[in-house]
Amino acid sequence: MSLLKLKAVPDPDSNPNDNAKKTQTIDLGNGSEVVYVPRFVAYDDGWEFFNYLDKHIPWTRPTLRVFGRSCLQPRDTCYVATAGLPDLIYSGYQPHAYSWDDFPPLKDILDAVHKMLPGTRFNSLLLNRYKGSNDYAGWHADDEKLYGSTPEIASVSFGCEREFFLKKKSRKSSQVLERSDEGPPSKRLKKSNNVDQHCFRLKHGSLLVMRGYTQRDWLHSVPKRAKAETTRINLTFRHVL
């Protein structure tokens, strides 16, 4: 694949301020914030990235241990990280950390993310591939200790549009209940009257940023959607301390 000259404001039909104009910043309260940039990567560049990643990433679908039971993660995954960082382990699974050099286009996307978000220096990336309507991400927070207490997470999406939900953690919700949709039904979070929910339709080429206390105070998910038949690839850039 030819390396793309990715710009932070790349939409060919728009004037240079367009991207900024469409950017939504949502104050979730108590020091949590979400930013959504619908056209972060231009449409055609986005499809080049999609095709490259779909074909060249060594996707795996690991078996996780959730509440003492084994279950297949309901999406494909891969992990990329700068050498020398502490290992990522979640739900009893320790992904192999590939190098950025293994997949040069990821460095172009990382550069564009850094330009869009001054002051960030992401050093790890979790890739997810949702192969159809049955693939999903259950309610969880990315609050592993290795990301610190107020991690900034930058999420870039390609391919099939999917809904991304955020809901405020209930006071009873604890770390043990995370990834709740991936455990047995009896252990899932009980529905609450909590009206603090937000939904974003994550467009092809979009960027969503979670920052502040979003991982401490909120859960997020990408639910199954019968109509979402085609593949979606999502990249979440994170900083391991």
Mark the binding-site residues, compressed into ranges: 67-69, 128, 130, 140, 143, 220, 232, 236, 238
Tell me the site size for ligand AKG, rule CB under 6 A: 11
CA distances from residue 15 to 9, 25, 233 in whole angstroms, order as listed: 9, 20, 27
Backbone angles phi, psi at 223, to 5 degrees: -75, 165
Minimum CB separation from ligand AKG for residue 153, in Å? 8
Tell me the two tokens of residue 133.
């309507």
Instruction: Report the partner that residue 141 touches, choosing among ligand AKG, Fe ion, none (CB closer than 5 to 8 A by kind).
Output: none
Q: Is 220 in the site for ligand AKG (CB under 6 A)?
A: yes
Q: Is 206 in the site for ligand AKG (CB under 6 A)?
A: no
∠22-24-26 over CA atoms, to 5°?
170
Instruction: Report the partner that residue 53 touches, choosing among Fe ion, ligand AKG, none (CB closer than 5 to 8 A by kind).
Output: none
Instruction: Report the partner that residue 167 touches, choosing among ligand AKG, Fe ion, none (CB closer than 5 to 8 A by kind).
Output: none
Binders of ligand AKG among residues 109 to 168 (CB under 6 A) are 126, 128, 137, 142, 155, 164
Minimum CB separation from ligand AKG for residue 135, in Å? 10
- Residue nearest to Fe ion as judged by C-beta position: 142
Instruction: Please name the amino acid found at residue 56.
Output: H
Q: Give the C-alpha separation, 128 to 153, whole Å.
A: 14
Q: Among 42, 72, 29, 39, which residue's Cα sits nearest to residue 182?
A: 72
Binding track over 173-202 against ligand AKG, x by CB under 6 A: -----------------------------x
Minimum CB separation from Fe ion for residue 99, in Å? 23
CB-based contact 208:200 (threshold 8 Å): yes
Q: Is 142 in the site for Fe ion (CB under 5 A)?
A: yes
Minimum CB separation from ligand AKG for residue 137, in Å? 5
Q: Give the C-alpha separation, 110 to 237, whole Å.
A: 8
Q: Is 33 in the site for Fe ion (CB under 5 A)?
A: no
For every residue of 112-145, DSSP letters joined together read: HHHHHSTT----EEEEEEE-STT--EEEE----G
Interface residue with ligand AKG among 64, 160, 222, 228 (CB under 6 A) is: 222
Nearer to Fe ion, 116 or 154 (CB): 154
Q: Give the C-alpha separation, 213 to 140, whole Å.
A: 14
Q: Give the C-alpha separation, 32 to 147, whole Å.
A: 16
Interface residues with Fe ion (CB under 5 A) are 142
Binding site for ligand AKG (CB under 6 A): 126, 128, 137, 142, 155, 164, 202, 220, 222, 234, 236
